Chains A and B, each alone.
Chain A
Amino acid sequence: MVKKRVAVIGAGITLFRRRLQETGKELSHYAVEMALDSAEMTRDDIESVVMGTAPDAFDGIHMKAENLLDGAGGARKPYTRVFVGGGTGVFAPIGGWWHVASGLFDTCLVVAEEKMSPCYPHPQTAFRTIWDPIITRPLEPNLVWIFALEMQRYMQIHNIPKEHIAAIAVKNKGNALDHPSAQLAAKITVQDVLDSEVMVWPVQRLDISPPSDGAAAMILASEDVARKYTDDPVWLDGVGWSLDSAYWTNRDLYFPEYVATAARMAYKMAKIHNPRKEISLAEPYDPFDYKEAHHTEGLLLADKGGAPKLTVEGQTFRDGDQPICPSGGLLGVGNPIAAAGLMKCCECFWQLRNEAGKRQVPKAETAVAQAWGDLMQIGTVTVFRR
């Protein structure tokens, strides 16, 4: 089925900030230029381009992938947008993988961009119209209260104290202190999280990632071509994605079945039989602290309800047995939606190349990145190996 093994040979990222001066095109350019430089490639070496960018309503430009094309290196190339809402950042390299694994192209530049700050006064406005207009919208929901319902159920089912969830925010914001792109890196305590403003109980201010602007890029190549550019490729050996019913009421919110289905697909492809033993580090999607735990369980890296305790016990720190979000995650590095997901894939690449600097996890051999989105029911998973 897979015609060619797919390598990652370069990556780039911008600062993640709120209200960056640059346009989305300019942000895309920074990330692309850094990725090309890191692979010692020129744009002529790129055969195809995949753009991942989330709702048009953030940048406020309909068909924004088309707007971003020239900044993303797509002019006069086969250029494709992929889009699954918040899951887009990890779906973009999956789209790139199709291009290369199929044998259609030997190289693919994968770019992810989000500029959320044009949406005024807050990008939350853009989410008001994603709900079913008849069943859900009459109640005027926003994303935070939908997550609060999920978080409450997750904590209740497993009897997880809020302190254990808060420990995840403390870890990720702390890890982000070592990430040069980070927006909300901070040394905080569990008490700081518990004392922060209540938004929609149990979600408090420090449980949640910030809106951001930013871009990231990654270069994929077929095995034979990758060897021409580097002696040290990282392999994208497994991809998986899955969508569950869009009806909240037909799912049990305590467990992300869509992530588990996607993870099983990716692990099977990568021939991973025991993910807890075989995966050196994971970058699950963490727009909220409970979501890191929820997704860690979805990735089959912890028992159901068991993930928060791993952080409380220190196992998920960089020097622990099961490092989780060594980048600092969305909670610490920031959350320019699609770019945040690709940032996680870039982190896997830098970790497996031993290029993560102060963030380096010892003996990193295999890494998994995951994002989540659409109507909060998609899981997108990539498995990387050195």
Chain B
Amino acid sequence: MSFEKIRDPRRVRHWKGDMECDYIYTAGIAGEKFFTTIRDKAKLLATRCAKCKITYLPPRIYCERCQASLDNWIEVPKTGTIETFTTVHMDNNGAPLSKPITLAFIRIDETDGGLIHEIGGTKPEALKIGMRVEAVFQSKSKRTGALTDIKYFKPV
């Protein structure tokens, strides 16, 4: 019997298994401050390295260029510019989505960083690289301190 011709491994002696582990992830020092500020004030915070002239969003407690510790927190606008975008037509298993999702990388104003997030309030065909957008937050009662506290970004 040639094993190469067996496409279904269940036709030979086999064992089933899984590699499940459960996790509780925490946001860290910088993430805790970033997300609680989104939750409580619907505002975006960044950290700045004055020496390297880099503003980090999402904020970090260190500069990745000089490795100095950063504690210079600044509030930045909730607006930004679309650097690139795409429209997702299939789910992760290859099945067609009933409603395509448009995702963009948004460079947040006054920072050297940004967020990848959904675009709403417009049609995908209306989007252009370079378009100005702003964050639309969930209502305060729905905000939990997570990335999804921003519903989406919409054109300004």
* CA–CA, A36 and B23, complex, Å: 32
Interface of B is mostly: loop
Q: How many inter-chain contacts with C-beta < 8 Å in the A-B complex?
A: 72
* CA–CA, A120 and B20, complex, Å: 11
B21 touches A70 (CB 8 A): no
Which residues of A lie under 8 Å from residue B66 when comparing CB positions?
A: 42-44
B69 touches A33 (CB 8 A): yes
A133 touches B23 (CB 8 A): no
- B62 closest partner in A (C-beta): A29
Contact of A60 among B25, B61, B62 (CB under 8 A): B25
Chain A positions 200-234 with a Cβ under 8 Å from a chain B Cβ:
none
Given A120-B22, A126-B21, are A21 and B67 neighbors across the interface (CB < 8 Å)? no
Which residues of A lie under 8 Å from residue B26 when comparing CB positions?
A: 21, 23, 118
B28 touches A23 (CB 8 A): yes
Q: How many A residues touch B, CB cutoff 8 Å?
A: 31
Which residues of B lie under 8 Å from residue A70 when comparing CB positions?
A: 60, 62, 64
* CA–CA, A57 and B31, complex, Å: 22
B28 touches A73 (CB 8 A): no
Does residue A157 face the partner (Cβ distance < 8 Å to B)? no
- A127 closest partner in B (C-beta): B21
B30 touches A26 (CB 8 A): yes
A29 touches B31 (CB 8 A): no
Which residues of A lie under 8 Å from residue B25 when comparing CB positions?
A: 60, 118
A119 touches B23 (CB 8 A): yes
Does residue A71 face the partner (Cβ distance < 8 Å to B)? yes
Chain A positions 231-261 with a Cβ under 8 Å from a chain B Cβ:
none
* CA–CA, A33 and B69, complex, Å: 8
Contact of B65 among A23, A43, A119 (CB under 8 A): A43
Does residue A189 face the partner (Cβ distance < 8 Å to B)? no
Given A33-B69, A70-B60, A118-B23, are A22 and B28 neighbors across the interface (CB < 8 Å)? yes
Which residues of B lie under 8 Å from residue A121 when comparing CB positions?
A: 22
Which residues of B lie under 8 Å from residue A137 when comparing CB positions?
A: 15, 17
A75 touches B24 (CB 8 A): no
Given A33-B62, A70-B60, A71-B62, are A25 and B28 neighbors across the interface (CB < 8 Å)? yes
* CA–CA, A138 and B14, complex, Å: 12
Does residue B90 face the partner (Cβ distance < 8 Å to A)? no
* CA–CA, A57 and B17, complex, Å: 16
B69 touches A23 (CB 8 A): no
- Residue-by-residue, is B12-40 near A (CB-CB < 8 Å gives 1, otherwise 0)? 00010101011111111111100000000
Which residues of B lie under 8 Å from residue A75 when comparing CB positions?
A: 64-65
* CA–CA, A70 and B28, complex, Å: 15
* CA–CA, A261 and B38, complex, Å: 56
B15 touches A134 (CB 8 A): yes
Q: In the complex, how many angstroms separate the beta carbon of B59 from the nearest chain A beta carbon?
A: 11
Which residues of A lie under 8 Å from residue B68 when comparing CB positions?
A: 33
Q: In the complex, how many angstroms separate the beta carbon of B110 from the nearest chain A beta carbon?
A: 21
Contacts A26-B29, A129-B17 known; list 9 others, CB within 8 Å.
A29-B62, A42-B66, A57-B21, A70-B64, A71-B60, A71-B62, A120-B22, A134-B15, A138-B15
Closest 5 CB pairs of A and B: A23-B28, A60-B23, A70-B64, A29-B62, A43-B67
- Interface CB pairs A-B, < 8 A, 20: A23-B26, A23-B27, A23-B29, A26-B28, A26-B30, A29-B61, A32-B67, A42-B66, A42-B67, A43-B66, A43-B67, A44-B66, A71-B60, A71-B62, A71-B64, A75-B64, A75-B65, A120-B23, A125-B21, A138-B15
